[in-house]
């Protein structure tokens, strides 16, 4: 089976280049407002898919155990430095196509501003459905192909791809926009039940952000977000989905599983986890679990 392409932010300056002092306070606050509205406020286990440097980690303070999951070790190290020694947070590096967790583990799954890097959304959704607890919630944000700007550009013949067709569009390498109807269809096929959508970042225009106070834009955006139930014309869309209760919950005490064969892992010493099924060894160092590549086989 071919491995889907993966976007790797290892060693990138994503935090400083895209967020820190870059005039995106409005987008950040509008996304937090949608997340608070859709996400259960408290619980025992939560995982953020593509957590990066931990931008949204403070939204999860109602949870007992929070996994920040990302493919980039360096971004997770930034999150560690930012959040400090908080025992609730578990930092895990790995591929979202081969999640290193037992099935039925997480009560809540969040994913914001990362699925646009997913080359194989059905495979991703299948893995998230596997690790979701029965009745658990998945809060997804995706880049909307069917946004007003794209529609106008298409009608004026300033872009080739149609915002009305359901298939994802890769507008630059490893950056995808998705049609809301297609996302809903893929969620259902993976076993999730999608709920009413919320549209976000309605006023993502440089001129508006320059002329109007951020708090006013966020307040207006919050008022407009529920219209996503009927139409989706904003660049960003949130959709809540629920996992069916017919699946199995993880057995008490089980957490990590081999991403290759899904057998529960055994802790060996202080620096590694071992798979009894395929003998793969996975690293653990300075609070970071590393499942990007297995450790070398001992001589």
Q: Which residues contact 126 (CB under 8 A, 6 or more apart)?
A: 190
Structural domain of residue 202, as residue ranges? 14-255
Assess contact for 235 and 163: CB atoms under 8 A. no
Asked if residue 270 is part of any domain, the answer here is: no
CA distances from 108 to 48, 49, 241 (A): 9, 11, 10
DSSP-derived letter for residue 167 is S
Asked if residue 260 is part of any domain, the answer here is: no
Assess contact for 245 and 210: CB atoms under 8 A. no
Asked if residue 231 is part of any domain, the answer here is: yes
Q: What is the CATH number of the domain that holds 249?
A: 3.40.50.150
Short-list 216, 213, 214, 218, CA closest to 202: 218
**Residue 267 banded pLDDT, cuts 50, 70, 90:** confident
| Mean pLDDT computed over every residue of the chain | 95
Asked if residue 133 is part of any domain, the answer here is: yes
Give the integer Cα–Cα distance in Å for 248 and 230.
34
* Stretch 254-279: mean pLDDT: 90
Assess contact for 135 and 193: CB atoms under 8 A. no
Short-list 79, 9, 47, CA closest to 292: 9
Tokens at residue 33, please?
């407002």
Q: What is the pLDDT of residues 54-93, one digit of tens each?
A: 999 999 999 999 999 999 999 999 999 999 999 999 999 9
Asked if residue 39 is part of any domain, the answer here is: yes
pTM here is: 0.96
Asked if residue 8 is part of any domain, the answer here is: no
Q: What is the pLDDT of residues 9-61, one digit of tens each?
A: 999 999 999 999 999 999 999 999 999 999 999 999 999 999 999 999 999 99
Residue 1 has pLDDT above 60, yes or no: no
Assess contact for 150 and 163: CB atoms under 8 A. yes
Distance from CA of residue 67 to its chain's centroid?
12
- Which pLDDT score, from 0 to 100, does residue 269 have? 66
DSSP-derived letter for residue 85 is S
Residue 299 has pLDDT above 70, yes or no: no
Asked if residue 152 is part of any domain, the answer here is: yes
Q: What is the pLDDT of residues 160-200, one digit of tens each?
A: 999 999 999 999 999 999 999 999 999 999 999 999 999 99
Least confident of 1-10, 48-57, 130-139, 209-218: 1-10
- Which pLDDT score, from 0 to 100, does residue 245 have? 74
- E-assigned strand segments in 24-80: 43-49, 63-70
Asked if residue 47 is part of any domain, the answer here is: yes
- Which pLDDT score, from 0 to 100, does residue 248 have? 83
Distance from CA of residue 288 to its chain's centroid?
19
Domain count, the chain: 1
């Amino acid at each position: 089976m071919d491995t889907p392409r993966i976007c790797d932010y290892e060693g990138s300056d994503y935090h400083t280049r895209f967020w820190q002092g870059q005039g995106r306070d409005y987008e950040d606050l509008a996304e937090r407002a949608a997340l608070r509205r859709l996400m259960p406020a408290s619980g025992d286990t939560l995982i953020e898919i593509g957590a990066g440097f931990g931008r949204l980690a403070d939204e999860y303070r109602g949870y007992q155990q929070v996994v920040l999951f990302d493919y980039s070790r360096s971004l997770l190290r930034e999150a560690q430095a930012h959040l400090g020694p908080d025992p609730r947070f578990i930092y895990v590096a790995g591929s979202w196509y081969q999640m290193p967790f037992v099935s039925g583990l997480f009560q809540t799954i969040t994913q914001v501003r990362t699925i646009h890097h997913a080359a194989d959304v059905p495979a991703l959704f299948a893995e998230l459905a596997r690790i979701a607890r029965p009745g658990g919630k998945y809060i997804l944000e995706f880049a909307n192909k069917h946004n007003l700007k794209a529609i106008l550009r298409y009608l004026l013949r300033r872009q080739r791809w149609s915002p009305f067709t359901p298939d994802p569009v890769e507008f630059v390498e490893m950056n995808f926009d998705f049609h809301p109807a297609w996302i809903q269809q893929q969620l259902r096929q993976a076993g999730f039940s999608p709920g009413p959508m919320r549209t976000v970042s309605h006023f993502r225009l440089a001129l508006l952000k320059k002329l109007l106070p951020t708090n006013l834009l966020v307040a207006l955006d919050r008022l407009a977000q529920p219209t996503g139930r009927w139409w989706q014309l904003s660049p960003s869309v949130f959709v809540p989905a629920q996992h069916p209760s017919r699946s199995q919950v993880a057995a008490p005490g089980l957490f990590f599983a081999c991403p290759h064969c899904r057998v529960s892992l055994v802790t060996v010493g202080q620096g590694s986890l071992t798979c009894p099924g395929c003998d793969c060894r996975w690293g653990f160092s300075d609070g970071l679990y590393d499942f990007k590549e297995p450790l070398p086989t001992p001589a």
